[in-house]
Structure 1
Amino acid sequence: MSQVGEIYRVAGPVVTAIGLNARMYDVVKVGKEGLMGEVIEIDNEKAIIQVYENTSGIRPGEPVENTGLPLSVELGPGLLTSIYDGIQRPLPVLTEKMGNFITRGVSAPGLSRTAKWKFVPTVKAGDKVKGGSIIGTVQETKTILHKVMVPPNVPETSIKDIKEGEYTVEDVIGHLENGTELKLMHKWPVRSPRPYNEKLRPDIPLITGQRILDGLFPIAKGGTAAIPGPFGSGKTVTQQQLAKWSDAEIVVYIGCGERGNEMTEVLAEFPHLTDPKTGNPLMHRTVLIANTSNMPVAAREASVYTGITIAEYYRDMGYGVSLMADSTSRWAEAMREISSRLEEMPGEEGYPAYLAARLSEFYERAGRVITPMGQEGSVTVIGAVSPPGGDFSEPVTQNTLRIVKVFWALDAKLAQRRHFPAINWLNSYSLYQDSLKDWYDKNISPKWNTLKAQSMELLQRESELQEIVQLVGSDALPEDQQLTLEIARMIREYFLQQNAYHDVDTFCSLQKQFMMLDSIMTFGAYAKAALGAGVPMQKILALKSKTDLAKVKFEPDFEKYLKDIDAQMKAEFKSLEAA
Structure 2
Amino acid sequence: MSEIKRIGVIRDINGPIVTIDLPGVRSGEQVKIGELGLFGEVISLRGQQAVVQTYESTDGVRPGEPAVGLGWPLSVELGPGLMGGIFDGVQRPLSKIALESGDYIRRGISVPALDRTKEWAFVPNPTLALGAKLNPGSVLGTVQETHTVVHRIMVPPGISGELAEITPAGNYTIETIIAQVLDRKGVTHSLNMYHRWPVRKPRPYVRRDDGISPLITGQRVIDTFFPQVKGGKGAVPGPFGAGKTVVQQQIARWSNADIVIYVGCGERGNELVDVLETFPQLDDPYSGHKLMERTLLVANTSNMPVVAREASVYVGMTMAEYYRDMGYDVVMLADSTSRWAEALREVSGRLGQMPVEEGYPAYLASRLAAIYERAGRVETYDAGIGSVTLIGAVSPPGGDFSEPVTSHTKDIIETFWALSKELADARHYPSIDWVTSFSGHVHTAAQWWHKEINPDWEKRRATALALLARDAELSRIVNLVGPEALSSAQRWELEGASLIKEGVLQQSALDEIDTFCSPAKQYAILDLAITIYKRGEALIKLGVPISELQNLPLLAKMRRIKSMYSSEQLEQIQAFRGEVDQAMESIRIEYAKQGEPA
TM-score of the alignment, normalized to the shorter chain, above 0.5: yes
- Partners of 1:316 and 1:377 within 8 A in 2: yes
- Pairwise CA distance, 1:211: 0.1
**Residue 272 of structure 1: which of 252, 265, 281 is its match?**
281
- After TM superposition, the structure 1 stretch with the greater mean CA deviation from structure 2, 152-161 or 225-234, is 152-161
Give a deviation string over 1:397-454, Cα, whole Å, max 9, x none: 1111111111101111111111100111111001112333322222222211111111
Give a deviation string over 1:445-484, Cα, whole Å, max 9, x none: 2211111111111101100111110112223310000000
- Pairwise CA distance, 1:159: 4.0
Query: Could you say if the C-alpha distance between residues 285 and 358 of structure 1 is closer, same or farther in structure 2, counting changes exceeding 3 Å?
Result: same
Structure 1 residue identity aligned to 2:575? D
Q: Which residue of structure 2 lines up, in the alignment, with residue 364 of structure 1?
A: 373
Instruction: Supply the distance in 1 between the matched residues of 2:310 and 2:383 (Cα, whole angstroms).
Output: 33
Q: Which residue of structure 2 lines up, in the alignment, with residue 152 of structure 1?
A: 157
Q: Which residue of structure 2 lines up, in the alignment, with residue 311 of structure 1?
A: 320
Instruction: Supply the distance in 2 between the matched residues of 1:129 and 1:162 (Cα, whole angstroms).
Output: 16
- Paired positions, count: 579
- Pairwise CA distance, 1:264: 1.2
Structure 2 residue identity aligned to 1:86? G
SS of structure 2 residue aligned to 1:550: helix
Q: Which residue of structure 1 lines up, in the alignment, with residue 544 of structure 2?
A: 535
Instruction: Supply the distance in 2 between the matched residues of 1:574 and 1:340 (Cα, whole angstroms).
Output: 70
- Pairwise CA distance, 1:102: 1.4
Give a deviation string over 1:105-143, Cα, whole Å, max 9, x none: 111000001111010101332322111011111111111
TM-score, length of structure 1 as denominator length: 0.98
1:450 aligns with 2:453: no
- Partners of 2:325 and 2:383 within 8 A in 1: no
**Residue 572 of structure 1: which of 568, 572, 583 is its match?**
583
- Pairwise CA distance, 1:195: 0.6
Instruction: Supply the distance in 2 between the matched residues of 1:19 and 1:138 (Cα, whole angstroms).
Output: 42
- Partners of 1:162 and 1:175 within 8 A in 2: no
The equivalences for 1:106-121 within 5 A come to 106-121=109-124
- Partners of 1:322 and 1:379 within 8 A in 2: yes
**Residue 49 of structure 2: which of 46, 71, 78 is its match?**
46
1:230 aligns with 2:236: no
- Partners of 1:125 and 1:162 within 8 A in 2: no
- Pairwise CA distance, 1:374: 5.0
- After TM superposition, the structure 1 stretch with the greater mean CA deviation from structure 2, 274-283 or 484-493, is 274-283
Instruction: Supply the distance in 2 between the matched residues of 1:558 and 1:480 (Cα, whole angstroms).
Output: 33
- After TM superposition, the structure 1 stretch with the greater mean CA deviation from structure 2, 19-28 or 217-226, is 19-28
Q: Which residue of structure 1 lines up, in the alignment, with residue 85 of structure 2?
A: 82
Q: Which residue of structure 2 lines up, in the alignment, with residue 167 of structure 1?
A: 172
1:102 aligns with 2:105: yes
Structure 1 residue identity aligned to 2:89? G
SS of structure 1 residue aligned to 2:412: coil
1:411 aligns with 2:420: yes
The equivalences for 1:260-409 within 5 A come to 260-373=269-382, 375-409=384-418
- Pairwise CA distance, 1:2: 4.1
Give a deviation string over 1:496-534, Cα, whole Å, max 9, x none: 000111122011111111111111111111111111111
SS of structure 2 residue aligned to 1:29: strand
Q: Which residue of structure 2 lines up, in the alignment, with residue 475 of structure 1?
A: 484
**Residue 252 of structure 2: which of 243, 257, 262 is its match?**
243
1:32 aligns with 2:35: yes
Q: Which residue of structure 2 lines up, in the alignment, with residue 9 of structure 1?
A: 12
Instruction: Supply the distance in 2 between the matched residues of 1:483 and 1:160 (Cα, whole angstroms).
Output: 75
TM-score, length of structure 2 as denominator length: 0.95
- After TM superposition, the structure 1 stretch with the greater mean CA deviation from structure 2, 46-55 or 60-69, is 60-69
SS of structure 2 residue aligned to 1:571: helix
- Partners of 2:326 and 2:383 within 8 A in 1: no
SS of structure 2 residue aligned to 1:137: strand
Give a deviation string over 1:210-241, Cα, whole Å, max 9, x none: 00000110001000111011111111111110
Instruction: Supply the distance in 2 between the matched residues of 1:531 and 1:260 (Cα, whole angstroms).
Output: 54
**Residue 141 of structure 1: which of 132, 139, 146 is its match?**
146
- After TM superposition, the structure 1 stretch with the greater mean CA deviation from structure 2, 11-20 or 186-195, is 11-20
- Partners of 1:367 and 1:380 within 8 A in 2: yes
Instruction: Supply the distance in 2 between the matched residues of 1:550 and 1:299 (Cα, whole angstroms).
Output: 46
**Residue 528 of structure 2: which of 519, 525, 536 is its match?**
519
Q: Which residue of structure 1 lines up, in the alignment, with residue 211 of structure 2?
A: 202
- Give the share of equivalent positions with the same residue, in percent: 49
- Partners of 1:29 and 1:67 within 8 A in 2: yes
- Partners of 2:129 and 2:163 within 8 A in 1: no
- Pairwise CA distance, 1:63: 1.3
Structure 2 residue identity aligned to 1:33? L
Q: Which residue of structure 2 lines up, in the alignment, with residue 68 of structure 1?
A: 71
Instruction: Supply the distance in 2 between the matched residues of 1:375 and 1:156 (Cα, whole angstroms).
Output: 21
- Pairwise CA distance, 1:388: 1.3
SS of structure 2 residue aligned to 1:253: strand
- Partners of 2:39 and 2:56 within 8 A in 1: yes
Runs (4+) of structure 1 exceeding 3 A deviation are: none
Structure 2 residue identity aligned to 1:126? G
Instruction: Supply the distance in 2 between the matched residues of 1:540 and 1:261 (Cα, whole angstroms).
Output: 47
RMSD value, Cα:
1.2
SS of structure 2 residue aligned to 1:135: strand
- Pairwise CA distance, 1:147: 0.8
Instruction: Supply the distance in 1 between the matched residues of 2:418 and 2:216 (Cα, whole angstroms).
Output: 19
Structure 1 residue identity aligned to 2:215? L
- Partners of 1:410 and 1:424 within 8 A in 2: yes
- After TM superposition, the structure 1 stretch with the greater mean CA deviation from structure 2, 265-274 or 311-320, is 265-274
Structure 2 residue identity aligned to 1:353? A
SS of structure 2 residue aligned to 1:100: coil
Unaligned runs of 5+ in 1: none
Instruction: Supply the distance in 1 between the matched residues of 2:161 and 2:455 (Cα, whole angstroms).
Output: 47
Instruction: Supply the distance in 2 between the matched residues of 1:24 and 1:436 (Cα, whole angstroms).
Output: 44
Structure 1 residue identity aligned to 2:580? M
Q: Which residue of structure 1 lines up, in the alignment, with residue 596 of structure 2?
A: none
Structure 2 residue identity aligned to 1:565? F
**Residue 561 of structure 1: which of 548, 572, 575 is its match?**
572
SS of structure 2 residue aligned to 1:118: strand
Instruction: Supply the distance in 1 between the matched residues of 2:17 and 2:122 (Cα, whole angstroms).
Output: 43
SS of structure 2 residue aligned to 1:276: coil
- Pairwise CA distance, 1:187: 0.7
Unaligned runs of 5+ in 2: 591-598
Instruction: Supply the distance in 1 between the matched residues of 2:170 and 2:26 (Cα, whole angstroms).
Output: 40
SS of structure 2 residue aligned to 1:495: helix
- Partners of 1:552 and 1:558 within 8 A in 2: no
Instruction: Supply the distance in 2 between the matched residues of 1:377 and 1:159 (Cα, whole angstroms).
Output: 29
Instruction: Supply the distance in 2 between the matched residues of 1:159 and 1:396 (Cα, whole angstroms).
Output: 51
- Partners of 2:218 and 2:255 within 8 A in 1: yes
Instruction: Supply the distance in 2 between the matched residues of 1:525 and 1:102 (Cα, whole angstroms).
Output: 61
Structure 2 residue identity aligned to 1:101? Y
Instruction: Supply the distance in 2 between the matched residues of 1:150 and 1:339 (Cα, whole angstroms).
Output: 37
Give a deviation string over 1:509-568, Cα, whole Å, max 9, x none: 111111111111111111111111111111112223323222321202542222222222
